Amino acid sequence: MGTVVEKLYSVDEYFTLEDKSEVRHEFYYGELIEMPGETTTANLIALNIAFFFKALFRQLKGYAFFAHYVKLMVMNNRVYRYPDLVVIHQKGDQKKYVTDPVLIVEVLSESTENIDRDKKRLEYFGLASLQYYLTIHQDEPIVEIYSRSGKSWQFDFYTSLEDVVRLPFFETEIILSEIFEGVSFEKKGE
Tens digits of residue pLDDT in 31-61: 999 988 788 999 999 999 999 999 999 998 8
Burial string for 169-186 (b: 16+ CB within 10 Å, else e) reads ebeeebbbeebbeebeee
Which amino acid belongs to residue 30?
Answer: G
% of the chain with per-residue pLDDT over 90: 73
Range 89-116 average pLDDT: 86
Domain ranges of the chain: 38-179
Which residues are within 8 A (CB) of 146 and not within 5 positions of it... i.e. 6 or more apart?
121, 125, 132, 133, 134, 153, 154, 155
User: What kind and span of H or E run contains 106?
Assistant: strand 101-107
For the stretch 139-180, pLDDT in tens is 999 999 999 999 999 999 999 999 999 999 999 999 999 999
Q: What's the pLDDT at 91?
A: 73
Confidence grade of residue 1 (pLDDT, cut at 50, 70, 90): low
Give all strands of the β-sheet with 71-75 in edge-to-edge order: 31-34, 25-28, 79-81, 71-75, 97-98
Q: Supply the pLDDT for residue 92.
A: 63
Is the predicted pLDDT of residue 128 greater than 70, yes or no? yes
- For the question of whether the overall pTM of this predicted structure is more than 0.75, the answer is yes
Which pLDDT score is estimated for 189? 52
Is domain 38-179 in CATH 3.30.1320.10, yes or no?
Answer: no
How far apart CA 31 and CA 165 sit, in angstroms, is 36
Please report, for residues 42, 103, 169, 185, the alpha-carbon distance to residue 181 in angstroms, rounded to integers and kept in the order given.
Answer: 12, 21, 24, 11
Average pLDDT over residues 130-137: 97
